[in-house]
Structure 1
Amino acid sequence: MARRLAEAALQARENAYCPYSGFAVGAALLTADGKLYTGVNVENAAFGPTNCAERTAFFTAVAAGERDFTAIAIAGGKANEAAKDFCAPCGVCRQVMREFCRDDFQIILAKPDAVRVFALKELLPESFSPDNLNGQE
């Protein structure tokens, strides 16, 4: 499963719109029922409206009615080059993941020759979640 998602993230990365940073990111998000949603980073000259690949994938899936996710793969690096290093999600993307996912949600960092897998709890310990607002934590 990790390798399949990694390949989808690497493929999606080719469609990134990153004329300012030159850093292309692709993401592949897996739902509990096996559907796959991809996303890319989309930059903007005003910078603030830029959206990360991970959030693009999540927002696309949520717009389609999805709410149950099991894993996401992320691949990033200099545009027009193979991903050389692992690319971890930013803090905002980690918080979006926490909105929809349990602590055991898998985050797969991908490059062409390897993957690293983390649980959301590892990358966002002591997180703020919807449970905090419901008095459950």
Structure 2
Amino acid sequence: MSAPGSGSSSSSSSSSVDIVHLVSEMRRAEPLVHCLTNSVVRQITADVLLAAGAAPAMVDHPEEAADFAAVASGVLVNVGNPTAEQVEGMHAAIGSAREHGTPWVLDPVAVGGLTLRTGLATGWLDHVPAAIRANASEIV
């Protein structure tokens, strides 16, 4: 391991450069992120995506979700506090994302503790999310 300031590159500094580059590229692309998320975090999710340079869209109606997932840069599915209509929209968006090669992220809020959410998230694993964003207690 090299001493700080020695001029040698370490894996952590190269990772930092990669992250800076990736964030810059993401901001340049201004991705359209289709968010199907719960009412508790909807505004926070939108604010974070806007701050990161993305364009969030909260489209969860079943009659629009599939169409929107087809044109989005990515889809976020957060299973916290779902209504029956949102679940229907989530199914449609995930199916459309897979069909159109759109990456999608699963956020399994309270999975393992609640039957409906656990069943939804477990079933959606068959649709191969690009990533799972979860707390440690939600992925055990």
TM-score tier, shorter chain, comes to: 0.3 to 0.5
The two structures have a TM-score, normalised by structure 2, of 0.32
Q: Which has the higher contact order (CA 8 A, sep 6+)?
A: 1
Question: Which of the pair has more CA radius of gyration?
Answer: 2
The two structures have a TM-score, normalised by structure 1, of 0.32
